[in-house]
Amino acid sequence: MLTNRREVLKISFSAFFADLGYQAAVASFPIILVFYFNAPILIYGIAESLNYGGGSLMSLLGGYLADKYGRKKIGVIGNSLIVILSFTGLAVNYIQALILFMLGWWFRNFRTPARRAMVSEVTRENERSEAYGILHALDIGGATLAILYLTIALYLGIRATVVVLFTAIPIIISTILLAMVKAGGKGKPKIMVRKGWILVISTMFFAFSQYSFGFPIITTAEFTHKLYLATITYGIFLVSSALFGYVFGKLRLSDYKALAFLGYLLASLASLGFAFLSPLGLIGIYPLSALMGIAVASTETFEPTIISKLSKGEVGTSMGALSLGRSIGLLIGNTAMGFLYQISFSYAYAFAFIMSFIAFMIVITSLRE
């Protein structure tokens, strides 16, 4: 039983409502750009790179400011400004859509290290994996419901731009819940220990492969010619991730081995599967989406758990560095994916397979308990 279960649940339900809102926008973003505004897939890849590239700096800044001025204060400020991406629904071209979504996404990254540090603050060290597992499960649970209502809306003929406008409501609820958390301490912004930086490097390589899930959405749409079937792909990924995030948090697994084998290695195999099995249609794509969900559940549970244990007073800064590594990888990875996808979808996923396998090798050779 968690010592401060009430505070962990407040933070986790704040994550639930945030994802209940903005994940519908995440799934709508490739649809709006590629299928509504007819932007080339390369442009989508560049757009996602800008989202994560700028977000990488915002993550580092948010983590530093969380330790300096208070984790709750920075978390609430960042969370409240995620609502900007809801106005993507008002865009009249892909440039406007890109800018509005990008700004909201940057503030999502800005608040993430502070929120993770708040979880660390209200838990004991031996409770961290369970707490982060609950956070991830509710986080992705909200995202799953977001994909459900988006899929139903698309099936009924409602445009994604209309749905995105209404995502502002759950995002506002999320901010209110985060403001109610009894946490908000400060730390000492300083450099992590060596193992912490090795983990940042490994997550950067993993992020080369953890492409925006918009690419599988696009792949599904291309092979099925149905947008609502494409968003279901994302829903399967999220359900799998939420379920296994909770399971991983409950099990007493080795943090490093679980991250390496259930996270990075499994993700590399799923990406390889997308390269060769996508032409089979849904029977190939849907199971692979579930496998990728398991892999991401592992990384979202064990990466912050390991970082929190390696950090002392500088938890916010360390979480910011973790997000920085992930975002730098996503910056480069999404650009490469977009470029390679223009040539062949299989080349893009093969690239992701190689990068994730490198992350696996870094962990098993350099990080040991």
What integer pLDDT is reported at residue 159 of this predicted model? 96
pLDDT of residue 278: 96
* Domain layout of the chain by residue ranges: 5-366
- Write down the mean pLDDT value for the chain: 86
Per the structure block, which two tokens stand in for 264? 């990075």
This prediction's pTM: 0.75
Confidence of residue 99 (pLDDT cuts 50, 70, 90): very high
Q: Residues 8-20: pLDDT tens digits?
A: 999 999 999 999 9
Confidence at residue 111, expressed as pLDDT on a 0 to 100 scale = 92
- Residue 91's SS3 state is coil
> What percentage of the chain carries pLDDT values higher than 70?
86
Residue in the structure block whose two tokens are 């950090």: 311
* Region 325-348 average pLDDT: 83
Neighbouring CB atoms inside 10 A of 43's CB total 17
Question: Per CATH, the architecture of 5-366 is what?
Answer: Up-down Bundle (1.20)
Quote the tokens at residue 369: 């308990």
3-state helix, strand, coil in the chain (%, to 5): 85, 0, 15
Res 191: pLDDT: 47
Cβ neighbour number for residue 365 with a 10 Å cutoff: 10
Residues 63, 254: Cα–Cα separation, whole Å: 26
- Which helix (DSSP H) or strand (DSSP E) does residue 46 occupy? helix 41-69
Share of the chain above pLDDT 90, in %: 48
pLDDT of residue 148 exceeding 70, the answer is yes
pLDDT tens string 37-48: 999 988 998 898
Mean pLDDT of 138-167: 93
Integer Cα distance of 129 and 252 in angstroms: 9
Question: What integer is the mean pLDDT of 100-110?
Answer: 95
3-state secondary structure 188-201: CCCCCCHHHHHHHH
Instruction: Quick: pLDDT tens for 46-76.
Output: 898 888 778 777 887 888 898 888 889 999 9
**pLDDT, mean of residues 266-278:** 95
pLDDT tens digit string along 281-327? 999 999 999 999 999 889 888 877 777 776 655 556 666 666 666 66
**Predicted confidence band of residue 116 (pLDDT cuts 50, 70, 90):** confident
Longest dimension (CA), the chain: 53
pLDDT in tens, 176-201: 999 999 875 665 545 444 555 666 66
Q: Give the range among 93-107, 200-214, 320-334 with minimum mean pLDDT.
A: 200-214
- pLDDT at position 129 is 80
